[in-house]
Structure 1
Amino acid sequence: MSKETAARIAVRDALIQLVELNRLFREAIESDHGLPIWTMETESESTNQRALAAGIATRLTYIEEQNKQETARLTGLVGVSEQTLQLGEELNLCRDQFKTAMADFRKLFGDSIEAIEQASDDLRDGLLGGLQVKHLHFVQCYRQLKLFPEPPRRVGFSWAASHSGTVRLTAEEAIVHFRKKYIASVAVNEDIGLLEKMPAKEVVVIKRILAPHLRANITWPKDIQALRQADPVLKKQYPAQINSPLPLFIQLKPGEPLPEFNRIRPYDPSARQERLQRSDARLVKINDNPHSRIYRYA
């Protein structure tokens, strides 16, 4: 079997499994109707919050009115059963497997913009067309669900309204970061080419524009808090802060309430506070491509 055939089969099999696990998880969320739920902007009694949360969390494709640069979002807290949480963990693993299969598939075509377009055409008109699946939203396919087997003591939602996020790396580290975190494009390839010509230990900054986004600031019960402080693995399992474009799925027993939380409202740009000048105001671009993400300090 050729590498090309093997890569296509891996994508096909991973996508079939992803669609099936998505369906099972969506149905499981809706069947947990006896457990509590809260979602932002949908507090009306006439809204089926479970169906909405389940649909958005498992949406793999674009819908007709969706902007191509946007991802489906719905912040909230969803109580789920142990069986549903286990399905969510299987779905997260499947999403990782599909992401890996897609990365291997795209490598067959190279890194140029023409090759990227060819890979997309091959995928859309060939493999996905044969499965009668088109217009996949890859960010929605890849993103991990936030699953908590133990309920937090409190969840404090807050808006992060900064304009950009930055990461400070050496040129050598930045090359690895680009190849690991970004899909190949003309701008990314140009940035990598410039980094390869720089001294390996020269410090650069990778900067990306961020839209206002919601964060969940999580307070854990004292016993969990003590354990996570002593164990780096548990710190990841029980984080203190995460971005929350999707609901947090929390395992609850029948009759158990949601953790304490604040019912945050949609973002209001007029309520933003003026910020002090950031240190990254001294950054200058080293690539003329408008989509470039690398800077150095002036």
Structure 2
Amino acid sequence: MPDTSRPLYRLLHELDERFDQLMASIEQAATLYEATLPSTWRFDGVNEPTWLRAALLDMWHQQHQDGRETRNYIALIAADEPLMTAFKEVNTAKHAISELLQRIKQSDPQALSDAKQRLPHRHPEVEHVLRQSGLARLHLKQCWRQLPIAEAPVARVRFAWYSSGRSIKRITVKEAEHKLMQLDTDAPHIRIQLSKLAGIPSSEPLAQVQNQAPLMRANLFFTEPLDDGHTRRALNIAMPLIVPAHEERLPHIKAPPLIPPAQRTRAKRRDEKLESEAFLPSLRVYRYR
């Protein structure tokens, strides 16, 4: 019998309850959406009633999926007050799970992995999806990512691809050496890189570069200034953007190109400080010029 007095057991039991609350809030929002069919714009041009339910329930890793990747649902929904409230309740449930998962991770990292395996089996609909499509494992980022909600009526929305290019993180020679030592140190190419690293000053800063996928960005222009005086907001969009229904119609929408730009058009000022060839290719580490 499990020791129900243990703090970790109580946390896992609370996670079960919060996951149930999330599923209930998704069911409520999806059912209300399908019953009212509010004005909706979708980036992919497809608009059938059950798409939102599928988007909100998409919280699982697919087979062979990179764990860093997420599946996006770019859309805009003009929600009346009841539907807006339902979407906010989904966000509240997502936030509650995110907060609790962080506490469980701090308490026992292995328990977090165990929890991800057992949560899907609490709901027949989810388990059916897993069996039918071969999905596996709870995708934490997709589980807790929030629905973007505009705080006031919006006159127009301009969607645009945001190609952030590359993220650049400074690391020390010691940190780079530690990362290389985690790889196969018997491999010739790793030994070569360790030798190169030993040949530079230990105080020299290095840059680790990570290519980033393009993001969809929504620029919101409000019908009236907000309390802080601003008339616009910019949001990264991975889930449907929810705006208050204004005369039961969508705001003016400027749609983005179907395909993101191959590369960013702005000058890569930080990139220009780096050498053109990777110093440690296995780590994507560059030297500064």
CA contact (8 A) 1:56 1:72 kept: no
Q: What is the Cα-based RMSD across aligned positions, in Å?
A: 3.7
136, 141, 144: which one aligns with 2:143: 141
CA contact (8 A) 2:214 2:260 kept: no
Measured in 2, the distance between the counterparts of 1:93 and 1:71 equals 21
**Alignment TM-score, normalising by the size of structure 2:** 0.69
Measured in 1, the distance between the counterparts of 2:99 and 2:119 equals 17
**SS at 1:90's partner residue?**
helix
| TM-aligned CA deviation for residue 211 of structure 1 | 0.4
| TM-aligned CA deviation for residue 102 of structure 1 | 0.9
Which residue matches 1:182?
A: none
- Aligned residue runs from structure 1 range 152-167, under 5 A: 152-165=154-167
Measured in 2, the distance between the counterparts of 1:57 and 1:288 equals 39
CA contact (8 A) 1:11 1:105 kept: no
CA contact (8 A) 1:32 1:80 kept: no
My pick for the range that moved more, 55-64 or 153-162, is 55-64
> Alpha-carbon deviations, 1:83-137, whole Å to 9, x = none?
111111111111111011111112222xxxxxx4x33542245x43663666211
User: Where do 5+ consecutive residues of structure 1 fail to align?
Assistant: 110-115, 169-185, 191-202, 230-234
Which residue matches 2:249?
A: 257
1:104 partner amino acid: R
Give % identity.
20
- Aligned residue runs from structure 1 range 63-74, under 5 A: 63=62, 68-74=67-73
Measured in 1, the distance between the counterparts of 2:161 and 2:169 equals 20
CA contact (8 A) 1:85 1:149 kept: no
Measured in 1, the distance between the counterparts of 2:220 and 2:283 equals 37
Which residue matches 1:200?
A: none
CA contact (8 A) 1:155 1:219 kept: yes
| Pairing 1:282–2:283 present | no
Measured in 2, the distance between the counterparts of 1:163 and 1:108 equals 36
> Alpha-carbon deviations, 1:65-100, whole Å to 9, x = none?
865443221212112221111111111111111011
| TM-aligned CA deviation for residue 259 of structure 1 | 0.8
Distance 1:54 1:208, change over 3 A: farther
Which residue matches 1:224?
A: 225
Distance 1:37 1:130, change over 3 A: closer
Which residue matches 1:232?
A: none
Distance 1:89 1:82, change over 3 A: same
**Alignment TM-score, normalising by the size of structure 1:** 0.67
Which residue matches 1:103?
A: 102
Higher radius of gyration, 1 or 2: 2
**SS at 1:265's partner residue?**
coil
| TM-aligned CA deviation for residue 40 of structure 1 | 0.8
Measured in 2, the distance between the counterparts of 1:27 and 1:296 equals 55
Which residue matches 2:199?
A: none
| TM-aligned CA deviation for residue 288 of structure 1 | 9.9
CA contact (8 A) 2:154 2:244 kept: no
Measured in 1, the distance between the counterparts of 2:259 and 2:144 equals 25
> Alpha-carbon deviations, 1:206-229, whole Å to 9, x = none?
9754201111111112x325x322
2:268 partner amino acid: Q
Distance 1:58 1:205, change over 3 A: farther
Measured in 1, the distance between the counterparts of 2:159 and 2:8 equals 45
Which residue matches 1:88?
A: 87
User: Where do 5+ consecutive residues of structure 2 fail to align?
Assistant: 128-135, 171-177, 183-204
Q: What number of residue pairs does the alignment pair up?
A: 242
Which residue matches 2:241?
A: 248
| TM-aligned CA deviation for residue 38 of structure 1 | 0.8
